[in-house]
Amino acid sequence: MTADRGDAARPHWRDWTWQLRERIRSAEALARWVLPTADEKDAIALLASRFHFVITPYYAALMDPDDPNCPIRRQVVPATAEVRDPAGLADPLDEVAHSPVKNVIRVYPDRIAFCVNNECALYCRFCLRKRMVGEPGWAMKQRELEAALAWIRRTPEIRDVLLTGGDPLVFSDARLDWLLGELRAIPHVELLRLGTRLPVTLPFRVTDDLVAMLARHHPVWVNTHFNHPKELTPEAAEACDRLTRAGIPVGNQSVLLRGINDTPDVMRTLCEGLVRLRVRPYYCYQAQWLEGTAHFRVPIERGMELFRGMRGRTSGFAIPQYVLDTPHGKVPLAAPSFRGREGDEVVVESWDGHLWREPNPLEP
Ligand SMILES: *Cc1c(COP(=O)(O)O)cnc(C)c1O
Ligand code: SF4
Protein backbone atom coordinates (compact mmCIF):
# COMPACT_ATOMS: atom_id res chain seq x y z
CA MET A 1 0.00 0.00 0.00
CA THR A 2 1.30 3.45 -0.87
CA ALA A 3 -0.07 6.67 0.55
CA ASP A 4 -1.95 9.01 -1.77
CA ARG A 5 -4.34 11.96 -1.61
CA GLY A 6 -7.24 9.67 -0.64
CA ASP A 7 -5.57 9.05 2.73
CA ALA A 8 -6.22 12.63 3.81
CA ALA A 9 -9.87 11.66 4.44
CA ARG A 10 -9.01 8.53 6.46
CA PRO A 11 -8.59 8.35 10.26
CA HIS A 12 -4.93 7.22 10.12
CA TRP A 13 -4.06 10.58 8.49
CA ARG A 14 -3.83 12.23 11.91
CA ASP A 15 -1.64 9.46 13.37
CA TRP A 16 1.90 10.84 13.35
CA THR A 17 3.49 7.37 13.38
CA TRP A 18 1.48 6.46 10.26
CA GLN A 19 2.71 9.67 8.64
CA LEU A 20 6.34 8.72 9.38
CA ARG A 21 5.93 5.16 8.12
CA GLU A 22 4.25 6.27 4.90
CA ARG A 23 6.79 8.91 3.91
CA ILE A 24 7.54 9.47 0.24
CA ARG A 25 11.05 8.36 -0.68
CA SER A 26 11.04 7.74 -4.45
CA ALA A 27 10.00 9.34 -7.73
CA GLU A 28 7.28 6.67 -8.07
CA ALA A 29 5.80 7.50 -4.67
CA LEU A 30 6.00 11.22 -5.45
CA ALA A 31 4.07 10.64 -8.68
CA ARG A 32 1.02 9.72 -6.60
CA TRP A 33 0.96 13.32 -5.31
CA VAL A 34 2.29 15.53 -8.09
CA LEU A 35 3.31 15.16 -11.69
CA PRO A 36 7.12 15.14 -11.34
CA THR A 37 8.99 17.11 -14.00
CA ALA A 38 11.96 15.61 -15.88
CA ASP A 39 14.25 17.82 -13.79
CA GLU A 40 12.73 16.58 -10.53
CA LYS A 41 13.02 12.94 -11.64
CA ASP A 42 16.66 13.40 -12.71
CA ALA A 43 17.46 15.18 -9.45
CA ILE A 44 15.92 12.41 -7.34
CA ALA A 45 18.02 9.83 -9.17
CA LEU A 46 21.21 11.92 -9.03
CA LEU A 47 20.88 12.84 -5.39
CA ALA A 48 19.70 9.51 -4.02
CA SER A 49 23.07 8.83 -2.41
CA ARG A 50 23.87 12.46 -1.43
CA PHE A 51 21.07 14.16 0.45
CA HIS A 52 18.04 12.05 1.14
CA PHE A 53 14.67 12.75 -0.34
CA VAL A 54 11.88 12.20 2.20
CA ILE A 55 8.47 13.92 2.50
CA THR A 56 5.57 13.31 4.88
CA PRO A 57 2.19 12.66 3.22
CA TYR A 58 0.80 15.64 5.18
CA TYR A 59 3.36 18.03 3.66
CA ALA A 60 3.02 16.41 0.21
CA ALA A 61 -0.70 17.16 0.30
CA LEU A 62 0.16 20.88 0.48
CA MET A 63 2.10 20.73 -2.80
CA ASP A 64 0.54 22.10 -5.95
CA PRO A 65 0.34 19.03 -8.23
CA ASP A 66 0.62 21.09 -11.41
CA ASP A 67 3.13 23.78 -10.50
CA PRO A 68 6.81 22.80 -10.13
CA ASN A 69 7.47 26.30 -8.73
CA CYS A 70 5.06 25.70 -5.85
CA PRO A 71 6.78 27.10 -2.73
CA ILE A 72 6.02 23.93 -0.77
CA ARG A 73 7.28 21.64 -3.48
CA ARG A 74 10.53 23.57 -3.99
CA GLN A 75 11.42 23.22 -0.31
CA VAL A 76 11.42 19.42 -0.38
CA VAL A 77 11.61 18.07 -3.94
CA PRO A 78 15.17 17.90 -5.34
CA ALA A 79 16.21 20.02 -8.34
CA THR A 80 19.23 19.37 -10.56
CA ALA A 81 20.40 22.90 -9.67
CA GLU A 82 21.60 21.28 -6.42
CA VAL A 83 24.07 19.16 -8.34
CA ARG A 84 25.22 22.07 -10.51
CA ASP A 85 26.28 24.18 -7.51
CA PRO A 86 30.02 23.55 -7.20
CA ALA A 87 30.63 26.27 -4.60
CA GLY A 88 29.35 26.10 -1.06
CA LEU A 89 30.57 24.09 1.88
CA ALA A 90 29.38 21.00 3.71
CA ASP A 91 29.70 22.64 7.13
CA PRO A 92 29.70 26.41 6.56
CA LEU A 93 29.46 27.22 10.28
CA ASP A 94 32.40 24.96 11.09
CA GLU A 95 30.17 23.27 13.64
CA VAL A 96 32.37 20.21 13.92
CA ALA A 97 35.27 22.39 15.13
CA HIS A 98 32.95 23.96 17.71
CA SER A 99 31.92 20.63 19.26
CA PRO A 100 33.48 19.85 22.65
CA VAL A 101 31.64 16.50 22.52
CA LYS A 102 29.79 14.85 19.66
CA ASN A 103 26.78 16.88 18.43
CA VAL A 104 27.15 19.66 21.02
CA ILE A 105 27.86 22.96 19.25
CA ARG A 106 29.14 25.81 21.34
CA VAL A 107 29.76 29.24 19.86
CA TYR A 108 28.58 31.29 22.86
CA PRO A 109 29.81 31.02 26.45
CA ASP A 110 26.37 30.47 28.00
CA ARG A 111 24.39 28.37 25.56
CA ILE A 112 24.68 25.42 23.21
CA ALA A 113 22.92 23.79 20.32
CA PHE A 114 22.64 20.09 21.16
CA CYS A 115 21.90 17.95 18.09
CA VAL A 116 20.17 15.14 19.92
CA ASN A 117 18.73 13.46 16.84
CA ASN A 118 19.86 13.07 13.23
CA GLU A 119 16.33 12.36 11.94
CA CYS A 120 13.68 14.74 10.63
CA ALA A 121 10.13 14.17 9.44
CA LEU A 122 11.26 15.33 6.01
CA TYR A 123 14.42 16.78 4.54
CA CYS A 124 14.51 20.41 3.44
CA ARG A 125 16.67 20.99 0.39
CA PHE A 126 18.34 24.03 1.98
CA CYS A 127 19.05 22.35 5.31
CA LEU A 128 22.08 23.72 7.11
CA ARG A 129 22.71 20.29 8.62
CA LYS A 130 22.48 18.34 5.38
CA ARG A 131 25.71 16.65 6.34
CA MET A 132 24.00 15.01 9.32
CA VAL A 133 20.26 14.59 8.81
CA GLY A 134 19.38 11.04 7.86
CA GLU A 135 23.05 9.99 8.17
CA PRO A 136 23.45 7.05 10.57
CA GLY A 137 26.93 8.22 11.68
CA TRP A 138 25.40 11.31 13.29
CA ALA A 139 22.83 9.40 15.32
CA MET A 140 23.36 9.69 19.06
CA LYS A 141 23.77 6.35 20.80
CA GLN A 142 22.62 6.22 24.41
CA ARG A 143 26.20 6.42 25.69
CA GLU A 144 26.87 9.42 23.45
CA LEU A 145 23.86 11.23 24.86
CA GLU A 146 25.17 10.39 28.34
CA ALA A 147 28.60 11.78 27.39
CA ALA A 148 27.02 15.04 26.19
CA LEU A 149 24.95 15.29 29.39
CA ALA A 150 28.10 14.71 31.44
CA TRP A 151 29.84 17.56 29.57
CA ILE A 152 26.91 19.91 30.28
CA ARG A 153 26.96 18.86 33.96
CA ARG A 154 30.61 19.77 34.32
CA THR A 155 30.31 23.06 32.36
CA PRO A 156 28.58 25.46 34.76
CA GLU A 157 28.53 28.39 32.31
CA ILE A 158 25.81 26.66 30.26
CA ARG A 159 22.43 28.12 31.27
CA ASP A 160 20.49 27.62 28.04
CA VAL A 161 20.29 24.31 26.12
CA LEU A 162 18.75 24.24 22.68
CA LEU A 163 17.75 20.75 21.59
CA THR A 164 17.91 20.51 17.84
CA GLY A 165 19.05 18.08 15.19
CA GLY A 166 17.63 16.89 13.04
CA ASP A 167 14.44 17.22 14.97
CA PRO A 168 14.09 16.38 18.68
CA LEU A 169 10.32 15.83 18.34
CA VAL A 170 10.96 12.78 16.16
CA PHE A 171 11.93 11.12 19.47
CA SER A 172 9.23 9.27 21.38
CA ASP A 173 7.61 11.07 24.32
CA ALA A 174 9.41 8.71 26.72
CA ARG A 175 12.88 9.35 25.31
CA LEU A 176 12.37 13.13 25.20
CA ASP A 177 10.94 13.08 28.73
CA TRP A 178 14.04 11.26 29.96
CA LEU A 179 16.39 13.69 28.19
CA LEU A 180 14.58 16.82 29.40
CA GLY A 181 14.46 15.39 32.92
CA GLU A 182 18.24 14.81 32.90
CA LEU A 183 18.81 18.39 31.72
CA ARG A 184 16.30 19.88 34.18
CA ALA A 185 18.14 18.14 37.02
CA ILE A 186 21.32 20.13 36.22
CA PRO A 187 21.18 23.19 38.51
CA HIS A 188 22.88 25.64 36.13
CA VAL A 189 20.64 24.78 33.15
CA GLU A 190 17.89 27.39 33.43
CA LEU A 191 16.31 27.28 30.03
CA LEU A 192 15.34 24.39 27.78
CA ARG A 193 14.57 25.11 24.16
CA LEU A 194 13.45 22.89 21.31
CA GLY A 195 14.08 23.69 17.66
CA THR A 196 11.53 21.69 15.67
CA ARG A 197 9.93 21.83 12.26
CA LEU A 198 7.28 19.26 13.11
CA PRO A 199 4.47 21.79 13.71
CA VAL A 200 4.98 22.62 10.01
CA THR A 201 5.83 19.28 8.45
CA LEU A 202 4.01 16.84 10.75
CA PRO A 203 1.70 18.84 13.06
CA PHE A 204 -0.04 15.70 14.35
CA ARG A 205 3.11 15.00 16.37
CA VAL A 206 2.06 17.79 18.76
CA THR A 207 -0.35 15.72 20.84
CA ASP A 208 -1.92 16.57 24.20
CA ASP A 209 0.36 13.96 25.80
CA LEU A 210 3.45 15.57 24.28
CA VAL A 211 2.64 19.10 25.46
CA ALA A 212 1.66 17.86 28.94
CA MET A 213 5.05 16.16 29.18
CA LEU A 214 6.93 19.26 27.91
CA ALA A 215 5.09 21.46 30.42
CA ARG A 216 6.43 19.32 33.27
CA HIS A 217 9.92 20.62 32.41
CA HIS A 218 9.18 24.34 32.28
CA PRO A 219 10.57 26.82 31.41
CA VAL A 220 10.53 25.29 27.91
CA TRP A 221 10.59 27.44 24.78
CA VAL A 222 9.99 26.23 21.24
CA ASN A 223 11.18 27.65 17.95
CA THR A 224 9.61 26.27 14.82
CA HIS A 225 10.27 26.88 11.15
CA PHE A 226 7.52 28.15 8.84
CA ASN A 227 8.77 29.59 5.54
CA HIS A 228 5.60 30.29 3.56
CA PRO A 229 1.96 31.28 4.26
CA LYS A 230 0.73 28.06 2.57
CA GLU A 231 2.20 26.22 5.55
CA LEU A 232 -0.17 28.03 7.94
CA THR A 233 -2.86 25.34 7.79
CA PRO A 234 -5.58 24.60 10.38
CA GLU A 235 -3.55 21.54 11.44
CA ALA A 236 -0.40 23.63 11.98
CA ALA A 237 -2.45 26.26 13.81
CA GLU A 238 -3.79 23.55 16.13
CA ALA A 239 -0.25 22.33 16.89
CA CYS A 240 0.93 25.86 17.74
CA ASP A 241 -2.16 26.47 19.83
CA ARG A 242 -1.55 23.32 21.87
CA LEU A 243 2.00 24.47 22.59
CA THR A 244 1.07 28.03 23.56
CA ARG A 245 -1.84 26.84 25.72
CA ALA A 246 0.68 24.69 27.63
CA GLY A 247 2.57 27.90 28.44
CA ILE A 248 5.31 27.32 25.89
CA PRO A 249 6.31 30.49 24.04
CA VAL A 250 6.55 29.63 20.33
CA GLY A 251 8.87 31.51 17.99
CA ASN A 252 9.59 31.09 14.32
CA GLN A 253 12.91 30.90 12.51
CA SER A 254 12.61 31.03 8.75
CA VAL A 255 15.16 31.06 5.96
CA LEU A 256 15.05 33.70 3.24
CA LEU A 257 14.60 31.62 0.08
CA ARG A 258 14.63 32.86 -3.52
CA GLY A 259 11.30 32.35 -5.24
CA ILE A 260 9.70 31.07 -2.01
CA ASN A 261 9.45 33.94 0.47
CA ASP A 262 11.72 36.69 -0.89
CA THR A 263 9.04 39.24 -1.76
CA PRO A 264 7.66 41.83 0.68
CA ASP A 265 4.11 40.55 0.17
CA VAL A 266 4.87 36.90 0.91
CA MET A 267 7.10 37.71 3.89
CA ARG A 268 4.54 40.09 5.41
CA THR A 269 1.68 37.60 4.85
CA LEU A 270 3.77 34.88 6.51
CA CYS A 271 4.71 37.00 9.51
CA GLU A 272 1.22 38.41 10.02
CA GLY A 273 -0.20 34.89 9.76
CA LEU A 274 2.29 33.71 12.40
CA VAL A 275 1.33 36.41 14.91
CA ARG A 276 -2.34 35.54 14.38
CA LEU A 277 -1.34 32.07 15.63
CA ARG A 278 0.50 33.78 18.53
CA VAL A 279 3.80 32.64 17.05
CA ARG A 280 6.48 35.33 17.23
CA PRO A 281 8.73 35.76 14.18
CA TYR A 282 12.17 35.50 15.82
CA TYR A 283 14.89 35.13 13.19
CA CYS A 284 14.96 35.02 9.43
CA TYR A 285 18.24 33.51 8.30
CA GLN A 286 20.25 34.43 5.29
CA ALA A 287 20.59 31.10 3.41
CA GLN A 288 24.04 29.75 4.23
CA TRP A 289 26.94 29.33 1.86
CA LEU A 290 26.09 25.66 1.68
CA GLU A 291 26.68 23.18 -1.11
CA GLY A 292 23.75 22.66 -3.47
CA THR A 293 21.79 25.74 -2.36
CA ALA A 294 22.98 28.59 -4.65
CA HIS A 295 19.58 28.65 -6.38
CA PHE A 296 17.91 29.53 -3.07
CA ARG A 297 20.17 32.43 -2.06
CA VAL A 298 19.25 36.11 -2.27
CA PRO A 299 21.89 38.90 -2.04
CA ILE A 300 22.06 40.23 1.51
CA GLU A 301 21.40 43.82 0.36
CA ARG A 302 18.03 42.75 -1.04
CA GLY A 303 17.22 40.89 2.17
CA MET A 304 17.98 43.99 4.25
CA GLU A 305 15.78 46.10 2.00
CA LEU A 306 12.94 43.60 2.35
CA PHE A 307 12.97 43.66 6.16
CA ARG A 308 13.51 47.38 6.31
CA GLY A 309 10.39 47.71 4.19
CA MET A 310 8.34 45.91 6.84
CA ARG A 311 9.11 48.52 9.53
CA GLY A 312 6.17 50.93 9.84
CA ARG A 313 3.97 48.73 7.66
CA THR A 314 3.12 45.98 10.14
CA SER A 315 3.18 45.27 13.89
CA GLY A 316 6.71 45.60 15.25
CA PHE A 317 6.64 42.11 16.73
CA ALA A 318 5.69 40.65 13.34
CA ILE A 319 9.15 41.60 12.02
CA PRO A 320 11.85 38.97 12.57
CA GLN A 321 15.49 39.89 12.95
CA TYR A 322 17.31 39.16 9.70
CA VAL A 323 20.54 37.39 10.62
CA LEU A 324 23.57 35.80 9.08
CA ASP A 325 24.82 32.81 11.02
CA THR A 326 28.61 32.55 11.10
CA PRO A 327 31.12 30.31 12.91
CA HIS A 328 31.31 33.16 15.44
CA GLY A 329 27.57 33.35 16.09
CA LYS A 330 24.59 35.12 14.59
CA VAL A 331 25.13 38.57 13.13
CA PRO A 332 22.11 40.91 12.74
CA LEU A 333 21.78 42.34 9.25
CA ALA A 334 19.96 45.66 9.05
CA ALA A 335 20.06 48.53 6.61
CA PRO A 336 21.41 51.38 8.74
CA SER A 337 18.80 53.86 10.01
CA PHE A 338 21.50 55.76 11.87
CA ARG A 339 22.95 58.39 9.52
CA GLY A 340 25.53 59.91 11.83
CA ARG A 341 26.27 62.85 14.06
CA GLU A 342 26.02 66.54 13.19
CA GLY A 343 27.31 68.61 16.08
CA ASP A 344 25.10 68.00 19.10
CA GLU A 345 22.53 66.05 17.09
CA VAL A 346 22.28 62.65 15.49
CA VAL A 347 20.40 62.13 12.24
CA VAL A 348 18.21 59.05 11.82
CA GLU A 349 16.01 57.92 8.96
CA SER A 350 12.44 56.82 9.76
CA TRP A 351 10.58 53.98 8.01
CA ASP A 352 8.97 56.41 5.53
CA GLY A 353 12.23 58.15 4.62
CA HIS A 354 12.00 61.18 6.90
CA LEU A 355 15.28 62.42 8.32
CA TRP A 356 14.92 63.18 12.00
CA ARG A 357 17.42 65.16 14.10
CA GLU A 358 17.60 64.10 17.72
CA PRO A 359 19.47 66.29 20.22
CA ASN A 360 22.21 64.07 21.61
CA PRO A 361 25.19 65.93 23.08
CA LEU A 362 28.41 64.01 23.61
CA GLU A 363 29.27 63.03 27.17
CA PRO A 364 30.93 65.91 29.03
C1 LIG B 1 21.41 29.92 17.24
C2 LIG B 1 22.29 29.29 18.20
C3 LIG B 1 22.10 29.46 19.56
C4 LIG B 1 20.96 30.28 20.14
O5 LIG B 1 21.12 31.62 19.80
P6 LIG B 1 20.06 32.71 20.27
O7 LIG B 1 20.48 33.95 19.56
O8 LIG B 1 20.17 32.82 21.75
O9 LIG B 1 18.71 32.23 19.86
C10 LIG B 1 23.00 28.86 20.42
N11 LIG B 1 24.03 28.13 19.95
C12 LIG B 1 24.23 27.94 18.64
C13 LIG B 1 25.37 27.13 18.19
C14 LIG B 1 23.36 28.51 17.72
O15 LIG B 1 23.55 28.30 16.41
S1 SF4 C 1 13.52 20.26 9.45
FE2 SF4 C 1 15.32 21.55 9.91
S3 SF4 C 1 16.99 20.10 10.40
FE4 SF4 C 1 15.34 18.94 9.37
S5 SF4 C 1 15.90 18.92 7.20
FE6 SF4 C 1 14.55 20.70 7.52
S7 SF4 C 1 15.93 22.42 7.92
FE8 SF4 C 1 17.11 20.52 8.21
For a ligand 2 pocket test, name from 50, 133, 162 the mutation site with the most ligand atoms within 8 angstroms of its C-beta: 133
111 lines ligand 1 (CB under 6 A): yes
On whether both 135 and 62 belong to a single domain, the answer is no
In this structure, the number of other CB atoms found within 10 A of the CB of residue 20 comes to 17
Tell me if 90 is assigned to some domain. no
On whether both 301 and 362 belong to a single domain, the answer is no
Tell me if 253 is assigned to some domain. yes
How far is ligand 1, taken at its centre, from the CA of residue 128, in Å? 14
130 lines ligand 2 (CB under 6 A): no
Burial of 285 from C-beta contacts in 10 A (0-12 / 13-18 / 19+): buried
Summarize pLDDT for 80-116 with one digit per residue, the tens. 999 888 778 888 899 889 999 999 999 999 999 999 9
How far is ligand 1, taken at its centre, from the CA of residue 151, in Å? 18
On whether both 105 and 123 belong to a single domain, the answer is yes
Summarize pLDDT for 160-187 with one digit per residue, the tens. 999 998 899 999 999 999 999 999 999 9
Summarize pLDDT for 132-149 with one digit per residue, the tens. 888 888 899 999 999 999
3-state secondary structure of 3: coil
Separation CA 324–CA 295 (nearest Å): 18
Looking at 84, 108, 142, the residue that finishes a domain is 84
What pLDDT is attached to residue 327? 94
On whether both 76 and 132 belong to a single domain, the answer is no
Tell me if 152 is assigned to some domain. yes
In this structure, the number of other CB atoms found within 10 A of the CB of residue 147 comes to 15
Total domains, the chain: 3
How far is ligand 1, taken at its centre, from the CA of residue 328, in Å? 10
Looking at 20, 52, 84, the residue that finishes a domain is 84
Separation CA 55–CA 20 (nearest Å): 9
On whether both 77 and 101 belong to a single domain, the answer is no
How sure is the predictor about 1, in pLDDT bands with cuts at 50, 70 and 90? low
On whether both 359 and 231 belong to a single domain, the answer is no
Sequence-separated (6 or more) residues with CB below 8 Å from residue 258:
287, 295, 296, 297, 298
Tell me if 91 is assigned to some domain. no
On whether both 136 and 210 belong to a single domain, the answer is yes
In this structure, the number of other CB atoms found within 10 A of the CB of residue 160 comes to 14
Burial of 103 from C-beta contacts in 10 A (0-12 / 13-18 / 19+): buried
On whether both 235 and 305 belong to a single domain, the answer is yes
CATH code, domain carrying 240: 3.20.20.70
On whether both 75 and 220 belong to a single domain, the answer is no
Position in ligand 2 atom list of the atom nearest CA 130: 8
On whether both 50 and 127 belong to a single domain, the answer is no
Q: Which residue range forms the structural domain that includes residue 362?
A: 337-364
Integer-rounded Cα Rg, in Å, for the chain is 21
Tell me if 89 is assigned to some domain. no
Separation CA 45–CA 53 (nearest Å): 10
Separation CA 55–CA 39 (nearest Å): 18
Looking at 16, 51, 84, the residue that finishes a domain is 84
3-state secondary structure of 120: coil
pLDDT > 70? residue 189? yes
Q: Give the number of whichever ligand sits closest to the CA of residue 162.
A: 1
On whether both 255 and 227 belong to a single domain, the answer is yes
Tell me if 37 is assigned to some domain. yes
330 lines ligand 1 (CB under 6 A): yes
On whether both 299 and 214 belong to a single domain, the answer is yes
- Among 1-10, 174-183, 268-277, whose mean pLDDT is lowest? 1-10
Summarize pLDDT for 280-299 with one digit per residue, the tens. 999 999 999 998 999 999 99
3-state secondary structure of 262: coil
What pLDDT is attached to residue 137? 87
CB of 307 closer than 8 Å to CB of 268: no
